[in-house]
Amino acid sequence: MNTATELRLRRAEKCLDVTFDDGTAFSLPAEYLRVESPSAEVQGHGPGQRKIVSRRRHVAIIGVEPVGHYAVRLIFDDLHDSGIYSWAFLHQLGREYAARWESYLNELASKGLSRDL
């Protein structure tokens, strides 16, 4: 398992920079982290229950709270704060950013939804 060694919130850019003990580093946009939240509100409680979150282009992270030695809880300015982002999940989000983001944009388009308010 990869462990985060540094987290840096860049508020102006609305990004969370995460560096891991294997040397990988990712700059993860707040919007991406919000729409991929591991919370039950987004992921549901079982297979096929995932919800598409639209209209979050503007979202920012206003807080990062440690959860033990394995995760962080992100607090967004739209008041979403129930997702626990484990180091493994953040690493996965970083590795899979391009594919996940493209899938998200395609899903929005197929449902006639927008990233904007």
Give the model confidence (pLDDT) of 73-114 as tens digits.
999 999 999 999 999 999 999 999 999 999 999 999 999 999
Pairing of strands 4-10, 15-20: antiparallel
Confidence of residue 47 (pLDDT cuts 50, 70, 90): confident
- What share of the chain in percent tops pLDDT 90? 91
Would the pLDDT of 71 be above 90?
A: yes
Would the pLDDT of 35 be above 90?
A: yes
Domains of the chain by range and CATH?
A: 4-110 (3.30.2020.30)
What is the predicted pLDDT for the residue at 46?
82
Query: CA 27 to CA 19: how far, in whole Å?
Result: 9
Mean pLDDT of 14-30: 98
| pTM strictly above 0.85 | yes
Distance CA 2, CA 22 (A): 7
Kindly report the number of other CB atoms within 10 A of residue 74's CB atom. Answer: 26
Query: Which pLDDT score, from 0 to 100, does residue 2 have?
Result: 93
Residues 22 and 62: their CA atoms lie apart, in Å, by: 27
